[in-house]
Amino acid sequence: MFSDPSEIRSIVFDLDGTLYVCPPIAAEIERAAAAMVASTRGVDLAQGRDLLRRARRRLGEMYDEEPTLTRTCLELGIDWPDFHLALQNGVHPERYLEYDPVLVALLDSLSEHCELYIYTNNNLALSQKILALLGVQSLFRRIYTIEFTGLPKPDREAFFRVIDDIGGPPESFLFVGDREVVDLKVPRAHGSPALLVREAADLLQIHKLLGLIP
């Protein structure tokens, strides 16, 4: 995947779908988005869901890739601060998430070798709550959310805002995420190694790639 693992100084993780997988939280996020669309358009929830679905399909056809929920809401004229305020009020990770000892152990061992960061389209309040529930918040040097970037992934400008703030050439970063187009396409295009994962247990691949385990 990359020629010299010793060059990696910073590991940048996506959050939702990468460090945890929870369909009920994903459903709450979708419902909050649909309710926001319905409220702004003066329609009921079912119609809001339909508008959201059609906007997502239209963007997917335009750009030949599935758009993120934040970008879809922007397409519908909803500013990201309003959308993420709706998420803070409508999404309740404390109902579903708890301390994850396996995740803690995996990340703690990585933190002995590299600095760890979060780069997510989520907002800061929800991200901090999720990380605290999982028991891993203290392991990350910084959390980069939509408040910092101002632009949802995938976005070249947002990518460089993050790596410029951390410091170091692109090849010194390893990006980890569950969506190739959203989380990894831009980093790969600019010379950063990237790893696609589907669940937290896949993070063990990082240890192998860095030569920490056989």
Q: How confident is the model at residue 1 (pLDDT cuts 50, 70, 90)?
A: low
Question: Can you give the length of the chain in residues?
Answer: 214
Average pLDDT, the chain: 93
Q: In whole angstroms, give the CA distance from residue 190 to residue 172.
A: 12
φ, ψ of residue 189 in degrees (nearest 5): -65, -20
Does CATH number 3.40.50.1000 belong to domain 5-21+97-209?
Answer: yes
Structure tokens at 177: 């995420």
Tens-place pLDDT, residues 130-175: 999 999 999 999 999 999 999 999 999 999 999 999 999 999 999 9
62 has a pLDDT exceeding 90: no
pLDDT of residue 6: 82
| Mean pLDDT value across residues 39-60 | 93
pLDDT of residue 3: 62
Radius of gyration of the chain (CA): 17
Whether the pTM exceeds 0.85: the reply is yes
Give residue limits of the domains in the chain: 5-21+97-209, 23-94
With beta carbons less than 8 A apart as the criterion, state whether 5 and 199 touch: no
Tens-place pLDDT, residues 94-126: 999 999 999 999 999 999 999 999 999 999 999
